[in-house]
Structure 1
């Protein structure tokens, strides 16, 4: 991203280009400047500071009013959309929406261990895997029939099936980019966060109404509610045992993020959608970081205090990234999409909820 000085230099060359042409002097093209680390930091810090400030405000509002922090970060960011149109903040906003986002997704791996997943037993693991994959397949199948792209179907299905806003951001980072990509990501995050909050309220009541056992209720809540925070809230509102089971099941869904995102990038490369010419791509660095942290944490090399701090850092990175993504999108663009994308995500939510509930009732 060009600095203000770079822009001024370009403007000066453009101003005198006509004089050079009249006198037969060839146009001077300055050699490309390799940006140093310090130069990059100077270019991005205004936008990053703004995104972090919005993240701080969103966190404060979330703690005081009990609403999802991602939703606050997104809406506040969209209110500052003008900062992304021009000026010194543009480079930092782009940096926060990409590099900071990938860092946050990678650090999610510190929340998961193989022991937690294996402690669930084979049946819950199978239920969760089928639920996640079938939800993505449903989105892929239904989206074109509602006038949306297959990419949006994968994005919405992955967000609903895996871990809400975090999955939406991770999947969006490997999907092909077009003029609607950021708008679709924003819409997915807003809708999936709102539905996750609704599920957090309704699903514990449904579990009590149906007389589910503690194990059944934990698998149901962890296998259906979209965001980790809402799963924790719903599970522990019933009992500590249900909360523990729901959290472990949810972490299994989070653990599926890396293989699913990698599978998407492989399919896109084979189809040539990203210019891969059929070659299997290297896994993105943030997915390798995610997998490495899961492995290291599973071996017990990460102390509890360190793991808690890294998990907190991951949350801050994701909220900062969603604030930056909000600044890149206008309310007008989001409202222009109509009801069909929302209907798709509601249908995906009903699908995974109904599937997991029936599987729990008849197999656990």
Structure 2
């Protein structure tokens, strides 16, 4: 039983956090409203609305709650993503395509690490951007940022990455269906290409279903396979930063973050059939809202002027990673005989 003093302390903590959490949720609601009524990416809207409200992260009643949402609510949202993953889902596409997706993820991150040196960027920035491009856009960026060592540029780099992958996903949502049509892909192959290359889930769905029902369902399935790689990649990144001298400054992350354990537990429960469909849908929806509120809070915490300081090299890096992934997947589809 909790003692009276502990209950009072928890109550005081909740009251201190409430204003900032509520502001983050309201921004998420506004972003979702705009997304549903004007076909705009919800993540991008939450980010831009958050940036416009940057003054709320200055000392005042909302600062603690905004920080809590940007950090703790983010981790909860990433953990609940695991409820969308299962072994059956992973195996349904065949080993050849799974190998291509795994290889594409690893190769894109390695490409980012190598390409970053050309522009004088450190390995943390390279892993953050390349991981977001290779796996699942803004969600992956936030999960990876949560385990990387932190410094005074961490939030700026995260905000840039989320903004970059969201904008590139939106561009890809428009251009990739045109590209697949020009290449003569049928609906299934077009769906595979879109699911394997577009960064954010929402834009994958938009691009796929703009072609056909079959392309939309295929692209969504392939995208979820990429999402399932988030857990293993974050584990490897965590272990690499604990055991490798990178030359970057910052505190080492914990061995295995709690939110990642949650992700793997949810994925395991779903694979064992212990999460009913209705509960899985609730968890997926809750995860989406948690991540939306978290990115709104990240926007509020970051000064846009600092984001713009990343320079043209950072933009070239994330665009280069995007083009590399698209070219690699396209070549892989021909090598496997899926296309052509």
Structures share a fold, TM > 0.5? yes
Per-residue deviation at 1:336? 2.0
Question: C-alpha separation between the residues in 2 aligned to 1:281 and 1:336?
Answer: 29
Partner of 1:240: 213
Partner of 1:150: 123
Unaligned regions of 5+ residues in structure 2, if any?
Answer: 1-5
Partner of 2:62: 89
Question: C-alpha separation between the residues in 2 aligned to 1:135 and 1:34?
Answer: 48
Match of 2:28 among 49, 55, 58: 55
Q: Could you list the per-position Cα deviations for residues 9-45 of structure 1 after superposition, in whole angstroms to 9, with x for gaps in the alignment?
A: xxxxxxxxxxxxxxxxxxxxxxxx9983222211111
Question: C-alpha separation between the residues in 2 aligned to 1:261 and 1:35?
Answer: 37
Partner of 1:222: 195
Equivalent residues in 2 for 1:67-216 (5 A)?
Answer: 67-216=40-189
Question: C-alpha separation between the residues in 2 aligned to 1:35 and 1:360?
Answer: 60
Question: C-alpha separation between the residues in 1 aligned to 2:139 and 2:98?
Answer: 21
Question: C-alpha separation between the residues in 2 aligned to 1:37 and 1:259?
Answer: 34
Partner of 1:9: none
Partner of 2:288: 315
Per-residue deviation at 1:144? 2.6
Per-residue deviation at 1:218? 2.0
Partner of 1:326: 299
Equivalent residues in 2 for 1:271-350 (5 A)?
Answer: 271=244, 282-350=255-323
The question of whether the paired residues in 1 share the 8 Å contact of 2:238 and 2:255 is answered with no
The question of whether the paired residues in 2 share the 8 Å contact of 1:258 and 1:291 is answered with yes
The question of whether the paired residues in 1 share the 8 Å contact of 2:242 and 2:255 is answered with no
How many residue pairs end up in the alignment?
329
The question of whether the paired residues in 2 share the 8 Å contact of 1:82 and 1:327 is answered with yes
Match of 1:266 among 232, 235, 239: 239
Q: Which has the larger radius of gyration?
A: 1
Per-residue deviation at 1:274? 6.0
